[in-house]
Chain A
Amino acid sequence: MNQFLAMVKARTMEFVRDRGTFFWNLLFPLILVFGFSFVFSGNQDKIFKVGLLGDVPQSSQYSFLELEQAEFIPYDLEQIDRETVVQKLRMHQLDMLLDFDKNSYYINDQSANGKILRMLLQNPQYNQMALQEKEVSGKAIRYVDWLVPGVIGMNMLFSCMFGVGFVIVRYRKNGVLKRLKATPVSAFSFVSAQMASRFFIVLLTSMVVFAGTNIFLKFMMLGSYWNLILITALAILCMISLGLIFASRFKSEELASGVLNLLNFPMIIFSGVFFSLEGTPPLMQKIARFFPLTHFIEGARAIMLEGAGFVQILPNLITLAAMTLLFLVTASLLFQWD
């Protein structure tokens, strides 16, 4: 057998036969996805959200604005364009949008809240300025639709960083690497075999987790599955390469796992796994651009929730590819058997 394939096989068997790790890798993301979808399934937003555009009149001139059950959110057209705000309506982040510039109001025909608000506006007593109705369409995005790329991405991150970073450090510490160094195997073929094995494991578990939770939760999927697989594959490569940098020198597992965690947690928090980065401090958003996870989550959400195609996610793909290259070169310059 070819040495590369033999090493891929050995590493994969090690993973599959290590029952604890294997099931944890599958179970952890499943628990998270189901857990969050349960926790956030209750309809907490009893209050209506209404966006305002243009010159907002006094509420005495337009009594709809006195509605106590609604939260009114004014947008400044100098800072945000109209289409972006309409998009929020499509994505059910708003229930209605009043556009005083265009003398019209928008509702989403898929939104029950929107229809209730429309009934109010059909009453001239509330709609003194006689805004005209415009309809947009868009299915409601549940929190879990939004969350699932983040959770799977987070699991990919852990699995890549530890499955490569930590495991190679363990090999170095217990002497497996020394034994391999005594054979004609090159560091390059050893490392690429580790990468390949981890790549298929993580890609497969990610797909299984997605498909498994999708049966019950029926995620919104507007884009193409091929693009989703493409960005997932690239992100996995990128995260493995990042893990390799830490695998290249460390001799102690404790040190390795400490450093890996130190890096993973900020990445998870700043990459927008659990909450949107919109509205966070600009510095934080800038830092987040350096994390592979950010680009994966951004791209995957765009594909699933906005139906983004290849061209729209291309910037994310290019960034991930560039990072992968950078990490790989760094890791190969640093790598030492012992």
Chain B
Amino acid sequence: MQVEGLHKSYGALKAVDGIDLEIPRGSCFGLLGPNGAGKTTTIEMMEGIVKADDGRILFKGKPIGGDFKKKVGIQFQNTALPEFITVKETLELFSSFYPHPRPMDELIELCSLLDILNQDNRKLSGGQRQRMLLALAIIPKPEMLFLDEPTTGLDPQARRNFWKLIEGVKAEDTSILLTTHYMDEAQLLCDYIAIMDKGKVLECDTPQKLLEKHFKGVLIRLPHDGDERELPQGAVITGGNLEMQTVDLDASLKKLLSSSYDLTGMTIDKPNLEDLFIKLTGSSLRT
């Protein structure tokens, strides 16, 4: 799936301001960005739900339309379900919409819905609801799966189950476009990542290459004592921490010691996506 020069404005606000993406077949593509970056708008244009002001959206080389909706699975960030019907009835309803729906047993098994099958849609907990919405999205055995913050609100256990499920779906040669605010999730699941802010893609590559490009070496992080003394070269203050990125750990530690910093509470990490995210979007992570 491929998009070129995608634009969408709401009044004066440019929600999406010229986006090009390419999602290779069978890969999982992560779309990251702070709140209001334009992720949902982008993904909904690609789904054909929101009309783009400008740009091309291609699926298998052709503009979307026609049979596209039979081949894609969609989980919205916010969605409502028909009221007064149970989970099972909802699954049956949605199964009737597709020519070759996934068998009910498989859905129930994949999304662990057995316990809530006869529960009214309105009486599901947040996590149960997410599982149910995911089940709806994978009913068509989609070639392309759109997931907008599918794990928001899930407990850690459920999130791990979800990851397993996604691995399973990927194994069916399904391409996935995923937005998330959990960087560990993106790092684990995604083959490609685009980080966007204010309607524009800032960076797009594999997680590995992105980290290599932006971070050389390791990241030293220690609680900042709030002193006004001059920072050692290469150090920055973010979120109450002093952070220093370096290829020469020895030299950097010496520098800190010579500026008589207290090294209690210091951590040394390889930089991860979260660091990159903050570096690129300049704001602290909001989930």
User: In the bound complex, do residue A13 and residue B98 qualify as a contact, i.e. CB atoms below 8 Å apart?
Assistant: no
Main secondary structure of the interface of A (DSSP, over half): helix
Mark out the residues of chain A between 177 and 212 whose CB falls within 8 Å of any chain B CB in the assembled complex: 178-179, 181-185
Task: State which of A3-11, A61-69, A94-102 sits at the interface with chain B.
Answer: A3-11
B85 near A183 with CB under 8 A, answer no
Contact check: which of B69, B76, B85 meets A13 at CB < 8 Å?
B85
Q: Which of A18, A183, A184 contacts B84 (CB 8 A)?
A: A18
Chain A's nearest CB lies how many Å from the CB of B35? 19
Among A1, A3, A17, A179, max chain B CB count under 10 A is at A179
Q: Which listed residue, A5, A18, A175, A183, touches B69 by the CB 8 Å rule?
A: A183
Tell me, in angstroms, the Cα distance from A9 to B49 when the chains sit together.
Answer: 26
B80 contacts partner chain A, Cβ-Cβ < 8 Å:
yes
Q: Are A182 and B74 in contact (CB under 8 A)?
A: yes
Q: Are B92 and A6 within 8 A (Cβ)?
A: yes
Pick the residue among B67, B69, B80 that contacts A179 (CB under 8 A).
Answer: B80
A13 and B89: CB pair below 8 A? Answer: yes
- Confirm or deny: B78 has a beta carbon within 8 angstroms of a beta carbon on chain A: yes
What residues of chain B lie closer than 8 Å to A5, measured between beta carbons?
96
Q: In the complex, how many residues of chain A place their beta carbon closer than 8 angstroms to a beta carbon of chain B?
A: 26
B31–chain A nearest beta-carbon distance, Å: 18
**Complex contact B76–A184 (CB within 8 A):** no
Q: How many residues of B contact A (CB 8 A)?
A: 25
Among A2, A13, A15, A17, contact of B96 (Cβ-Cβ < 8 Å): A2
A183 x B98 contact (CB < 8 A)? yes
Let me know if B266 is at the binding interface, CB within 8 A: no
Residues of B within 8 A of A3 (CB): 96-97
- Chain B residue numbers with a CB within 8 Å of A71 are none
Residues of B near A6 (CB, < 8 A) are 92-93, 96-97
Question: Which chain B residue has the least Cβ–Cβ distance from A182?
Answer: B74
CB of A7 within 8 A of CB of B81, answer: no
CB neighbours of A14 from chain B (8 A): 82-85
The answer to whether B157 has its CB under 8 Å from any CB of chain A is no
Once bound together, how far apart are the Cα atoms of A11 and B84, in whole Å?
Answer: 9
